[in-house]
Structure 1
Amino acid sequence: MGSRANSQAAVERRIRRIAQRRGLSLLIAQKRNSKIEAHGGYMLRDDETFAIVFGNRQYDFCADLEEIEAWLEKDEGEADE
């Protein structure tokens, strides 16, 4: 039986909260295409400038939740230094 704490919706909410503390918004692709379906579906946007800060390297919404989470953790580590 699956755990609610690890459901995709729960992970999205957790990442959204972490991002918001850093002034970022988690964006989710509304219109899916084959590229997005194959990998990704997420981007991070700076709330102040509306610039995309992560998830648009190869194409829009190319990041998956694990990549977003790793980027946020890396960003947090650099901010502590």
Structure 2
Amino acid sequence: MTTFQGSIPAAIEQAIKEKINDAVVEVQGGGGHFEISVTSKVFAGKSTLEKHRLVLGAIAHLMAGNDAPVHAVDKLNTKVPS
């Protein structure tokens, strides 16, 4: 079972920021379903698939197992800062 401190949205945000240092992260949702928006310079020149793999890879541990706190990312928005 995955353990973490605080709320699930906070755990998602923390995990993404650990993987993508300059990330600005917004997480909404609950009940296992979340919408995530991430802005980072790391995304420059990457395809949508590559961007999504970076973010989902960062939270994979929160999505693993039958008792996972994150069941679905219903919407994932990745962008480069302007």
Asked if these proteins are the same fold (TM beyond 0.5), I'd say no
**Structure (1 or 2) with the larger CA radius of gyration:** 1
Q: Which structure features the higher share of strand residues?
A: 2
Q: Which structure features the higher share of helix residues?
A: 1
Structure 1 length normalisation: TM-score? 0.31
Of the two structures, which has the highest relative contact order with CA contacts closer than 8 Å and spacing of 6 or more?
Answer: 2
Structure 2 length normalisation: TM-score? 0.31
